[in-house]
Chains A and B, each alone.
Chain A
């Protein structure tokens, strides 16, 4: 079987298109590359969706934490502590079983027990908490002179936030937020290992990598392939975020622009 054939059979296997049966013996390198790559679709799906939605909630949480009103501040603080203080692994398990219990009561929760919705919600809340803390830190470091100048120019309320505070907050938070985005993508590998079952063997990259490692009892091929894909993904994320970083800092002289540095942190 040629490699092109394998790619057309298994390239979209993780979303249920192509061959139904996974290869069971005589694994070729091409099969491992194709299937693990196919699983990356899920990792990218979870990461992108959670990141996009989480951005807005994170901004809200950061503002909430900085609020003078205790009714807003306390819930924000608890939200951040809840999701940053406990392992994502346990959060996945808890959410899955919570949705299972809810489903047996109310039919509406049917899709929540599937990974595509349930896991996305957990990742969304989780990244909101981490990014919210980053944004909060940046909000606290917005130079006082900036807001005073805004006051002097007659900015107030939402316009002041939109035109002055928020852009500076983004600019300060961006390098740390880039790392948060990378870890979110890494964290997506936990989805099918914790609670949420892979339906009809449609799993993510790690699911297929461990499938091959279990079948061949040889971890030295699938895991390095997986690592390679993730290094590629990391580079793409850094590239995209650097573009935004450049735009956020375009008014600053070349030398004083903050650089994005990859700072691995492992686990959440």
Chain B
């Protein structure tokens, strides 16, 4: 990257380090931090939407919708953690391929599950074997986001369901007294007021979501864990300009610090947000703010 990096053998000390830390592979490593942030940026709203949908369904008056919402929440929450991730990535992949197979190759006569193999016609493969590498990567990332959203959506649904039930009954009865329909009550009274009750649970979930991001590695995405293992391993002078011993410990120390810093920043921001949302609410937090202002 820098001019003086042209001949790595002659470098020493800090200059060596500055050249080492800006090699092409290291730049990929830094980009993978972006991958993690991108995953969080996409997953959080999608999971929130899943959670909102799940909660709305769970308190629906229509029987099947309520059953679906409630079972979505309780099944995902009841099953142990990473098993769900391992399961969903394969299951979703096979599910998509199966659907495409049914749509695209109706005259295929062999069974799809042949012993230990899952066989669909080549036109139904996802992604197509002819597509470029980046499509494969984007597809893997997409599967990861969907899995995260399904799992965290259920947790968010549970939080939002509880929050919707915590909106004071008097507020809802007042809405009815003013002649609002169920739908109007939902959108104009419950939804605006539930956030302050949902925020402690949702911020907890956000912290958990941050700590779940290393699982991307298990889902086959080239994330920070992948690069830390890749770059930290012993490098011999024959294969690289920057030989070093086993430095994986230091790379993972850096990741540890990254996560701690991220957690700390989130804590501070969420605290501020909670203060903002509590303003003027009929809760203990809102009362404390009112007292402080006087």
Contacts and interface: CB of A to CB of B under 8 A. Distances in A.
Interface of A: 25, 81-82, 85-91, 93-94, 97-98, 100-101, 104, 186-187, 189-190, 193, 206, 209-210, 213, 215-220, 223, 226-227, 230-231, 264-268
Contacts of B264: 85
Given A93-B252, A97-B252, A186-B80, 18 more contacts: A87-B213, A89-B211, A93-B228, A100-B248, A101-B246, A186-B81, A187-B81, A190-B82, A218-B113, A219-B94, A220-B91, A223-B87, A227-B80, A227-B83, A231-B78, A264-B77, A265-B204, A267-B81
Given A85-B263, A89-B225, A98-B249, A218 B83 contact: no
24 contacts: A82-B260, A85-B263, A86-B256, A87-B211, A87-B213, A89-B214, A89-B215, A90-B259, A93-B225, A94-B252, A97-B248, A100-B248, A104-B246, A193-B218, A206-B82, A206-B83, A215-B116, A217-B118, A218-B116, A219-B87, A223-B87, A264-B78, A266-B77, A267-B208
B253 A193 contact: no
Given A81-B260, A215-B116, A87 B214 contact: yes
A90 B225 contact: yes
Give the interface size bracket for B toward A: 35 or more
Contacts of A267: 81, 208, 211-212, 215
B151 interface: yes
B249 A87 contact: no
A219 B259 contact: no
A262 to B, nearest CB: 8
Nearest to B152: A266
Given A89-B214, A266-B208, A267-B211, A189 B78 contact: no
A227 B79 contact: yes
B86 interface: yes
A267 B204 CA distance: 12
Contact of A268 (B87, B151, B211, B218): B211
A155 B231 CA distance: 59
B200 interface: no
A91, A101, A226, A266: which has the most chain B beta carbons within 10 Å?
A: A266
Interface in B92-116: 94, 113, 116
Contact of B83 (A91, A209, A217): A209
Contact of B256 (A25, A94, A101, A230): A94
Interface in B189-237: 204, 208, 210-215, 217-218, 225, 228-229, 232
Interface of B: 77-83, 86-87, 90-91, 94, 113, 116-118, 151, 155, 204, 208, 210-215, 217-218, 225, 228-229, 232, 246, 248-249, 252-253, 255-256, 259-260, 263-264
Contacts of B256: 86, 90-91, 94
- Listed from nearest, the 5 A-B pairs whose CB atoms lie closest are A94-B252, A97-B249, A85-B263, A87-B211, A223-B87
A197 to B, nearest CB: 13
A193 B82 CA distance: 10
Contacts of A220: 91
A219 to B, nearest CB: 4
B252 A87 contact: no
Contacts of B204: 265
Contacts of B79: 227, 230-231
Contacts of B155: 264, 266
A219 B88 CA distance: 8
A215 B117 CA distance: 9
Given A217-B118, A267-B212, A87 B246 contact: no
B164 to A, nearest CB: 18
A98 B228 CA distance: 14
Contacts of B118: 217-218
A265 B208 contact: yes
Given A206-B86, A213-B90, A219-B90, A90 B246 contact: no
A87 B211 CA distance: 5
Contacts of B113: 218
A25 B81 CA distance: 28
Given A87-B211, A217-B116, A189 B252 contact: no
A213 B86 contact: yes
B29 to A, nearest CB: 15
Contacts of A189: 80-83
A87 B212 CA distance: 7
Contacts of B232: 97
Contacts of B255: 90, 93-94
B8 to A, nearest CB: 24
Contacts of A89: 211, 214-215, 217, 225
B210 to A, nearest CB: 8
